[in-house]
């Protein structure tokens, strides 16, 4: 009866997955609106310019911008107040220039900012009293610039290449670096609407809300959702077949990794659908996408580290390698059995012998999620979890590199255990190469993208590379746990398949060592046993 129930659940999951996939496709077809960005700006002698927005524009098109600026008080000397538009060909040179007067020479377009008095209103700025009254001034600017931009007669004459291009929109007042009138510069808030504009042969414009660097990523997310969902269903089917018998917790962890990867793609698709309607998407859903992506990464890393350290292998196979006491063993003891170490940390309140391993496992998970949240402070439009443009992205690459070294060390210790069969040694060698490629490939892809590709192609290439790396790792781990007993030497020996020690009901606890508390090695769910060792 239990198997029939779970089989029905599996069918319903498939129908639900297809429904989610259909909804996601419909979200991609939502009518487009402009990208909307808002923020605060205050110019001074030390900061004469403020970047309002960056936007990627398609080839042979133009970018349209609509800006509303509100000034809290009169901008007394606005003669040098300008909106300047730059492109990525010159942006590096702009950032290198020390003076505002030198920066603006690189601008593709310069537009005066003129404020109109709108009366007195209640001051709604944070920290101000609700009874405070302030003079309100507003400026409205609309502009359109072609891609590629026309030659600038003041500074250059060369025509730029026709390609995707980033445009940067800044507001500045170069007079502030010459005259000390910072006290006369009021606070300003702005709202920016920006869009891609494509024109037909007849000159009829069509508008695209998404930046050009997001092109194709929606379809990539759909493929990721479908692929991760299919892997999760395969693992779920194996779990259903184990109802009433035994199943290894590694299968559930990999299933969770596949599920998190699929949910991350789904959340990002929903965010893009919201973005199409309101121009800024849904911050919470986009944040969930980053968190689930980080969880998937951390689960994959934990499983690779654990399998590389001998998790799921019989103790007699490990021999004297990972089992020997010593400083290295203390590092790997918990990583070798993350599920048991976490259970020891939680159920035994950290008093068991493997509490350090549970702490290490939690630190790996929290490190990935923390880096995902840190990365969100650098870009609110779309997920930039793997980007190398900011410190959290570079920290993630360093973390991958360190975990890769730990992984290789663990595999080497298992192979040198003294009792490892030659066939398993051959498998572990290949597994070490696959695992090391996972830990090293993303930093390698990121460094290649950052050094070999033009700036306007990096965002899409990094997304594609990260998706391929994660898909290959999830597919490899799924094969590792759903393969038949004859698939490899690992499948013949691993406890993930059949338990070679006979009746598992007698092996419900790990004997206490050094005065520690005995820790269960198995969870029971009715007649189903979930093995942790």
pLDDT at 340 over 70: no
- How far apart CA 114 and CA 456 sit, in angstroms, is 33
Integer angstrom CA distances of residue 507 from 491, 501, 513, 518, 521: 21, 9, 16, 12, 7
pLDDT at 230 over 90: yes
Backbone angles phi, psi at 266, to 5 degrees: -65, -45
pLDDT tens for 452-471 read 887 778 878 888 888 888 89
pLDDT tens for 114-142 read 999 988 888 777 777 767 788 889 999 99
pLDDT at 501 over 80: no
Query: What's the DSSP call for residue 163?
Result: S
pLDDT of residue 34: 64
- Rounded-to-10 torsion of CA 11, 12, 16, 19: 70
Burial of 395 (0-12, 13-18, 19+ CB in 10 A): middle
pLDDT band at 400 (very low <50, low <70, confident <90, very high): confident
116 or 509, which is more confident: 116
Cβ contact 150:62 at 8 Å: no
335 or 249, which is more confident: 249
Integer angstrom CA distances of residue 388 from 90, 348, 372, 442: 21, 40, 13, 11
pLDDT of residue 354: 54
Beta-carbon contacts of 515 under 8 Å, excluding residues fewer than 6 positions away, are none
pLDDT band at 277 (very low <50, low <70, confident <90, very high): confident
Element at 333 (helix H, strand E): helix 327-336
What 3 state SS string does 169-215 have?
A: EEEEEHHHHCCCCHHHCCEEEEEEEEEEEEECCCCCEEEECCCHHHC
Give the pLDDT mean for 13-27: 47
Element at 284 (helix H, strand E): helix 283-308
98: how many CB neighbours lie within 10 A of its CB?
Answer: 8
pLDDT of residue 190: 92
- How far apart CA 108 and CA 101 sit, in angstroms, is 15
Cis omega (within 30 of 0) on the bond before 139? no
pLDDT at 303 over 70: yes
Give the pLDDT mean for 215-242: 88
pLDDT at 397 over 50: yes
pLDDT tens for 23-72 read 444 444 444 456 778 888 888 888 889 999 888 888 888 888 999 999 98
- How far apart CA 260 and CA 297 sit, in angstroms, is 9
Looking up tokens 């609407």 gives 193
192 or 516, which is more confident: 192
257-261, 265-269, 326-330: least confidently modelled range:
326-330
pLDDT of residue 500: 42
pLDDT of residue 242: 75
- How far apart CA 265 and CA 25 sit, in angstroms, is 12
pLDDT of residue 325: 42
pLDDT of residue 66: 92
pLDDT of residue 233: 92
Query: Closest by alpha carbon to 106, among 118, 132, 88?
Result: 88
What crossing angle do the helices spanning 338-347 and 283-308 adopt, rounded to 10°? 110
């Amino acid at each position: 009866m239990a198997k029939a129930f779970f089989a029905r659940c599996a069918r319903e999951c498939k129908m639900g997955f297809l429904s989610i996939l259909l909804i996601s496709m419909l979200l991609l077809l939502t009518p487009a609106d402009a990208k909307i960005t808002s923020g605060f700006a205050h110019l001074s002698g030390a900061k004469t310019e403020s970047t309002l927005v960056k936007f990627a524009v398609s080839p042979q098109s133009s970018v349209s911008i609509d800006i509303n600026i509100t000034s809290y008080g009169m901008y007394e000397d606005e003669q040098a107040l300008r909106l300047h538009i730059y492109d990525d060909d010159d942006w590096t040179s702009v950032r290198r220039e020390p003076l505002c007067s030198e920066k603006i020479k690189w601008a593709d377009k310069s537009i005066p900012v003129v404020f109109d008095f709108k009366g007195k209103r209640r001051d709604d700025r944070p920290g101000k009293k609700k009874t405070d009254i302030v003079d309100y001034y507003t400026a409205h600017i609309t502009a359109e610039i072609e891609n590629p931009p026309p030659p600038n007669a003041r500074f250059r004459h060369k025509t730029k290449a026709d390609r995707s291009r980033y445009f940067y929109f800044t507001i500045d007042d170069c007079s502030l670096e010459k005259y000390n009138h910072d006290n006369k510069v009021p606070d300003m808030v702005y709202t920016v609407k920006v869009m891609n504009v494509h024109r037909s042969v007849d000159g009829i414009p069509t508008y695209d809300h998404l930046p050009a660097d997001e092109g194709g990523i929606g379809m990539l997310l759909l493929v990721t959702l479908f692929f991760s969902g299919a892997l999760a269903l395969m693992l779920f089917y194996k779990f259903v077949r184990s109802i009433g018998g035994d199943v290894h917790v590694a299968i559930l962890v990999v299933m969770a990794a596949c599920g998190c990867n699929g949910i991350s793609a789904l959340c990002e698709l929903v965010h893009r659908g919201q973005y199409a309607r309101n121009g800024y998407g849904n911050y919470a859903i986009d944040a969930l996408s980053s968190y689930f992506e980080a969880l998937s990464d951390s689960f994959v890393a934990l499983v690779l580290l654990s399998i590389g350290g001998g998790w799921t292998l019989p103790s007699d196979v490990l021999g004297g390698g990972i089992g020997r006491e010593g400083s290295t063993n203390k590092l790997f003891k918990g990583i070798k059995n993350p599920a048991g170490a976490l259970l020891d940390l939680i159920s035994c309140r950290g008093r068991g012998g493997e509490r350090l391993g549970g702490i290490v496992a939690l630190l790996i998970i929290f490190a990935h999620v923390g880096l995902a949240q840190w990365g969100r402070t650098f870009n609110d439009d779309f997920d930039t979890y793997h980007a190398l443009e900011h410190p959290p992205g570079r920290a993630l690459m360093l973390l991958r590199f360190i975990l890769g070294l730990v992984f290789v060390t663990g595999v080497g210790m298992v192979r040198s255990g003294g009792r490892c069969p030659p066939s398993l040694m051959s498998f572990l060698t290949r597994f070490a190469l696959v695992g090391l490629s996972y830990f090293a490939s993303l930093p390698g892809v990121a460094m290649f993208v950052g050094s070999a590709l033009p700036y306007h192609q990096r965002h899409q290439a990094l997304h594609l590379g990260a998706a391929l790396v994660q898909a290959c790792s999830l597919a490899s781990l799924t094969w590792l746990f759903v393969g038949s007993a004859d698939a490899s030497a690992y499948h013949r020996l691993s406890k993930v398949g059949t338990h070679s020690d006979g009746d598992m009901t007698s092996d419900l606890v790990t004997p206490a060592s050094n005065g520690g508390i005995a820790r269960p090695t198995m969870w029971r769910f009715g007649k189903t046993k979930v093995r942790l060792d």
